[in-house]
């Protein structure tokens, strides 16, 4: 069933494209548009051979003939993102950067540009270049090492990728490889979408955030000083390679940040997964390999299922933004990079849940369970003290989910695992939530 069960006419609430200026000028919190309800997805089983309606898990591919034998290699779990001719696999497993055939089969042309940053390059660039070139002498690999951090997810840094690509004479048959977290993935993807009007693109995500969310689904882009991710393109990769071993070097704070997105999937569409997380959150923080592999797989299945039904975010895909409207306001208001994305999303999720509760849409126990799991994950449950009601309102007014000047939000409604994407809510509940969580 999954979201095939979504019975609605989404077209009536598709965001119209307004200029930033007119959005700012016209943003209001008044007239309710239609509500889109998203019943709980019941199709995801908890077994490792889960098969869901539109995203499939299949057995790993056999090795290429010229691949050096790796006796220890375990075939990856594969989650398929089903988008017709633009479908692609997500390979998930430990040690996948040592299984060079997985990457090489998705490289087009003879030139590859690896886009990474100063933090990740010393850790994984050599290994990635090796995986791309071993037994493959025809391929030349260039790399560009960008400064590290959300504050560099901008036009100036993007230009460094184009500079390198042009200097290296990369042609239309080249492949761009994103090696890093969500910042690198989003920037490299956008560069691949626009370089020569589009070249081949591979994602090698190395943070939890990127492995469970940002590398899947084709949203790419950069920030503008007036708002996050306002400039970008939908551009799908050829494959996503998730080597869970890369998480061994990830700082604890980044681990926790990524878990905010894992928790999100449970809340919006997968109550069984949320219950599993309640039992396993400490194991995830402790980087238990089996727990991590399961959480990544299940998260990718949820994301792939949503994306395959609503690639360009007409409705269903917007539900992946639970907590993000409040969270983006925190990231923008507080300054990019001060709070991690997942930390801002965690506080934003608590605010969205508080508002859902004020509206009478969910019961007390959900509020309590959300607060508990986020605290156990060592994530914030309130915004920074410097955030004011007017900061929230002015930043939320330029959110991409504003349509015709009306702010639509993802709110929980009904039993755990159900949400709505709607502008049809009592404005007083939003104001009350903003007042409860920030200074006036």
423 is an interface residue for ligand NAD by CB under 6 A: no
Q: Which of 228, 324, 358, 413 is catalytic?
A: 324
Token look-up 């890093």 returns 180
Distance between CA atoms of residues 383 and 151, nearest Å: 20
| 169, 197, 225, 279: the active-site residue | 197
Burial of 217 (0-12, 13-18, 19+ CB in 10 A): buried
**118 is known as an active-site residue:** no
- The helix or strand, by DSSP H or E, that contains position 368, with its residue range, turns out to be helix 364-376
| 317 lies in the binding site for ligand NAD (CB under 6 A) | no
Find the part of the chain contacting ligand NAD (CB under 6 A) among 17-25, 112-120, 278-286, 422-430.
Answer: 112-120
- Candidates 43, 104, 133, 214: give the one binding ligand NAD (CB under 6 A): 214
The single residue among 209, 293, 329, 353 that binds ligand NAD, judged by CB under 6 A, is 209
Residue 58 annotated as catalytic: no
Q: Which of 43, 55, 207, 325 binds ligand NAD (CB under 6 A)?
A: 207
Residue with smaller CB distance to ligand NAD, 291 or 362: 291
Does the footprint of ligand NAD cover residue 186 (CB under 6 A)? yes
- Residue 21 falls in the annotated catalytic set: no
Q: Give least dist CB 205 to ligand NAD, A.
A: 7
CA–chain centroid gap for 169, Å, is 31
- Catalytic residue flag (residue 303): yes
Tell me, residue by residue from 23 to 62, as one string, x for binding to ligand NAD by CB under 6 A and - for no binding.
----------------------------------------
The yes-or-no answer on residue 219 being catalytic is yes
Helix 364-376 vs helix 341-358: crossing angle, to nearest 10 = 170
Report the residue from 41, 104, 133, 246 that binds ligand NAD according to the rule CB under 6 A: 246
Orientation angle between helical segments 182-194 and 155-167, nearest 10 degrees: 60
Shortest distance, position 357 Cβ to ligand NAD, whole Å: 25
H helices of 270-288, in order, are 271-285
Q: Catalytic residue at 197?
A: yes
Window of 15-23, 41-49, 147-155, 275-283 that interacts with ligand NAD by CB under 6 A: 147-155
Query: Which of 356, 194, 207 minimizes the C-alpha distance to 268?
Result: 356
Q: Which candidate, 179, 183, 187, places its Cα nearest to that of 155?
A: 187
Question: Annotated catalytic, 313?
Answer: yes
Which residue from 219, 317, 400, 401 is in contact with ligand NAD, where contact means CB under 6 A?
Answer: 219
Cα–Cα dist 239/102, whole Å: 9
Q: Is residue 148 within the footprint of ligand NAD (CB under 6 A)?
A: yes
Residue 239 near residue 90, CB atoms below 8 Å: yes
Closest residue by Cα to residue 57 from 84, 91, 104:
91
Residue 311 in contact with ligand NAD, rule: CB under 6 A: no
Residue 366 found at the interface with ligand NAD (CB under 6 A): no
The residue range among 25-33, 103-111, 250-258, 383-391 that interacts with ligand NAD, by the rule CB under 6 A, is 250-258
| Annotated catalytic residue, options 80, 313, 331, 343 | 313
68 neighbors 45 (Cβ within 8 angstroms): no
How far apart are the C-alpha atoms of 231 and 275, rounded to whole Å? Answer: 36
Cβ(3)–Cβ(43) below 8 Å: no
Binding to ligand NAD in span 154-183, by CB under 6 A: 180-183
Cβ-proximal residue to ligand NAD, closest one: 182
29/141 Cα distance (integer angstroms): 51
Q: Is 80 in the site for ligand NAD (CB under 6 A)?
A: no
Q: What is the C-alpha to C-alpha distance for residues 229 and 351, in angstroms, rounded to an integer?
A: 21
State yes or no: residue 83 binds ligand NAD (CB under 6 A).
no
Out of 54, 111, 153, 298, name the contact with ligand NAD by CB under 6 A.
Answer: 153
Task: Indicate if 54 belongs to the active site.
Answer: no
The residue among 215, 308, 295, 304 whose CA lies nearest residue 260 is 295
Q: In which region does residue 323 sit, left (phi positive, over 0), alpha (psi from -120 to 50) or beta (all else)?
A: left
Binding segment toward ligand NAD, per CB under 6 A, in 26-34, 246-254, 273-281, 425-433: 246-254
Q: Cα(198)–Cα(433) distance, rounded to whole angstroms?
A: 43
What is the size of the binding site for ligand NAD (CB under 6 A)? 29
User: 273-293 burial by CB neighbour count: b if 16+ within 10 A, else e?
Assistant: bbebbeebbebbbeeeeebbb
Q: For the chain, how far is it from start to end, CA to CA, in angstroms?
A: 44
Which of the residues are catalytic?
Answer: 197, 219, 261, 303, 313, 317, 321, 324, 328, 341
Enumerate binding residues for ligand NAD (CB under 6 A): 117, 119-120, 123, 148, 150, 153, 180-184, 186, 206-207, 209-210, 213-214, 217, 219, 228-229, 246, 249-250, 254, 257, 341
């Amino acid at each position: 069933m999954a979201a095939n069960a979504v019975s609605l006419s989404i077209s009536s609430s598709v965001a119209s494209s307004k200029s930033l200026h007119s959005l700012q000028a016209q943003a209001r919190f008044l007239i309710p548009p239609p509500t889109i309800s998203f019943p709980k997805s019941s199709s995801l089983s908890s077994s490792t051979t889960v098969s869901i309606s539109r995203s499939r898990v299949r057995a790993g591919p056999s090795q290429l003939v010229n691949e050096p034998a790796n006796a220890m290699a375990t075939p990856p779990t594969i989650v398929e993102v089903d988008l017709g001719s633009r479908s692609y696999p997500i390979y998930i497993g430990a040690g996948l950067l040592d299984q060079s055939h997985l990457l090489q089969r998705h490289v087009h042309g003879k030139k590859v540009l690896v886009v990474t940053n100063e933090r990740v390059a010393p850790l994984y660039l050599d290994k990635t270049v090796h995986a791309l070139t071993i037994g493959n002498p025809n391929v030349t690999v260039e790399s560009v090492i960008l400064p590290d951090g959300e504050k560099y997810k901008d036009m100036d840094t993007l230009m460094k990728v184009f500079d390198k690509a042009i200097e290296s004479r990369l042609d239309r048959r080249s492949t761009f490889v994103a090696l890093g977290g969500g910042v690198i993935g989003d920037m490299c993807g956008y560069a691949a979408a626009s370089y020569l009007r589009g070249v081949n693109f591979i994602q090698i995500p190395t943070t939890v955030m990127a492995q469970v969310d940002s590398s899947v689904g084709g949203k790419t882009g950069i920030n503008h000083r007036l708002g996050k991710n306002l400039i970008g393109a939908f551009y799908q990769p050829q494959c996503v390679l998730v080597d869970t071993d890369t998480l061994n070097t990830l700082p604890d704070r980044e681990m926790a940040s990524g878990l905010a997105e894992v928790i999100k999937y449970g809340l919006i569409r997968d109550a069984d997964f949320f219950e599993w997380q309640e039992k396993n959150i400490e194991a995830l923080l402790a980087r238990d390999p089996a727990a991590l592999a399961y959480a990544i797989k299940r998260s990718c299945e949820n994301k792939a299922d949503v994306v395959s039904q609503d690639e360009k975010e007409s409705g269903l895909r917007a539900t992946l933004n639970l907590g993000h409207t409040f969270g983006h306001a925190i990231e923008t208001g507080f300054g990019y990079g001060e709070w991690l994305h997942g930390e801002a999303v965690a506080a934003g999720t608590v605010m969205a849940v508080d508002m859902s509760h004020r509206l009478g849409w969910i019961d007390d126990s959900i509020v309590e369970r959300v607060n508990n799991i986020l605290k156990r994950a060592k994530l914030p449950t309130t915004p920074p003290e410097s955030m004011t009601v007017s900061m929230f309102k002015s930043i939320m007014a330029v959110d991409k989910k504003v349509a015709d000047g009306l702010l639509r939000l993802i709110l929980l409604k009904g039993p755990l695992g159900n949400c709505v994407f709607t502008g049809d809510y009592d404005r007083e509940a939003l104001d009350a939530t903003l007042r409860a969580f920030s200074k006036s």
